[in-house]
Structure 1
């Protein structure tokens, strides 16, 4: 059993992705043993009508998700009316969480607009996934450069929100470095494995933060799904720790 916590559905703005179509993605995931997948929308990157993006995502996951795709809506704290977007995600669509894109929505994690959003999400008991980047800068479209989100302010922001569960997705930090310690010490901060690179890095992440705070995330279909599966296999974790990463931790966050 696998729960994939980092997935997006819909047409990607910059290239064709074979599994972008939700029904095809759900079928593929089922064949791989995925029982649930937290799905955001690629429309969330560039569309200004956030309410429409979330409405379509909820309808798409229900109609074509095969019981696997779990919609995670987006909210842009720099956009007027974000409070209504968040309430609609939680109260109308019954979404269990949100995916934030500070890179595409042009704000930093130190922006004063972010804490009110996180406070509202905490009050609604929503899980918040913060996507650091969608792809590496070196492969971005030459006339569409998007600066990745810097996670450095996040531990300080979360100090005031101990009940909020936040997932760092598509992060590029060395879990072996001294600087990673500030993230490891935040108990309500979780980490996906989609963009971990290097032999032993997944195992090292588990050592630094504990198996209970590491999540299986593939970043499909932008990344090849099997890459995340191979990272987990290469880590050679104890069976009980691997089970937590594959599904147990995500299921605890979103029953």
Structure 2
């Protein structure tokens, strides 16, 4: 049983057809694949100037599905974002997502630092997707670039840094980010395995050996990617890594909540 898939979404995608964007289908897929819970965002919200209506849709859509946890999309340079962080807590969200590249926010943008501090204080995990699709596959109108390691480093180095999960990062991104941080800064940072190659390149095995499995969490990228991909890559690990346990999303959430309690004392 996989405790949590942290990289899931519902809703349509502006640049191509998505076959199964409904939460009912997602809930069945997770049950079939042996995933206990899913952290679910609203996919279209990344492309809206104001993502708050998408969160309202998300909360309503997931209400009938107790195994699907809402992940709010919060734009920190938009009016009223602090209220929406509080709403995410009230709604039981484990995390929030931000899309700096879609919103034109650079690595040093102070609004990102404020969002990170607010997540740390609220006990929320901050999730940063690197990409939705490979650059070579994108529609000509899809002009937002990939998230940069500099964005992640700036948040991880902040004095009030939250627990961070980076989605859909490849080996080069992960190594450039992780090895440029101190051990304490790196302890706040986690990567999902949805975009890390297995055999024959064996990028996943290399990263598990060098950074340790505690830096990695299960994530698939549904509905733009298949939920079976990360499980297949884990099953194809070399014998010395067979059965390795990734960090659970629930453990990261517990760490975020403990961090918030400690800061409040």
Q: Report the Cα distance in structure 2 between the residues aligned to 1:108 and 1:11, rounded to whole angstroms.
A: 27
Equivalent positions of 1:156-171 (< 5 A) are 156-161=154-159, 164-171=162-169
Contact 1:44 1:53 in 2 (8 A): yes
Corresponding residue number in structure 2 for 1:118: 116
SS at match of 1:106: coil
The RMSD of aligned alpha carbons is 2.1
Q: Report the Cα distance in structure 2 between the residues aligned to 1:31 and 1:25, rounded to whole angstroms.
A: 10
Equivalent positions of 1:15-164 (< 5 A) are 15-63=16-64, 65=65, 67-91=66-90, 93-161=91-159, 164=162
Q: Report the Cα distance in structure 1 between the residues aligned to 2:177 and 2:72, rounded to whole angstroms.
A: 31
SS at match of 2:248: helix
CA offset digits 1:32-72 (Å, max 9, x no partner): 11110111111211223422211211121112x3x221111
Corresponding residue number in structure 1 for 2:195: 195
Stretches of 4+ aligned residues off by more than 3 angstroms? 175-180
| Structure 1: stretches of 5+ with no match in the other structure | none
SS at match of 1:48: coil
Structure 1 pair 16/184, CA: closer, same or farther in 2 (3 Å)?
Answer: farther
Q: Report the Cα distance in structure 2 between the residues aligned to 1:35 and 1:19, rounded to whole angstroms.
A: 20
Structure 1 pair 156/107, CA: closer, same or farther in 2 (3 Å)?
Answer: closer
Displacement, 1:160?
2.7
Structure 1 pair 165/196, CA: closer, same or farther in 2 (3 Å)?
Answer: same
Contact 2:116 2:160 in 1 (8 A): no
Contact 1:73 1:95 in 2 (8 A): yes
Q: Is 1:215 matched up with 2:213?
A: no
- TM-score, structure 1 normalization: 0.88
Contact 2:165 2:191 in 1 (8 A): yes
Q: Report the Cα distance in structure 1 between the residues aligned to 2:182 and 2:21, rounded to whole angstroms.
A: 33
SS at match of 1:128: strand
Contact 1:193 1:217 in 2 (8 A): yes
- TM-score, structure 2 normalization: 0.85
Q: Report the Cα distance in structure 1 between the residues aligned to 2:41 and 2:182, rounded to whole angstroms.
A: 26
Structure 1 pair 31/179, CA: closer, same or farther in 2 (3 Å)?
Answer: closer
Q: Report the Cα distance in structure 2 between the residues aligned to 1:177 and 1:147, rounded to whole angstroms.
A: 19
Displacement, 1:176?
8.8
Q: Report the Cα distance in structure 1 between the residues aligned to 2:176 and 2:61, rounded to whole angstroms.
A: 43
| Structure 2: stretches of 5+ with no match in the other structure | 255-265
Contact 2:107 2:154 in 1 (8 A): no
Give the length in aligned residue pairs. Answer: 247
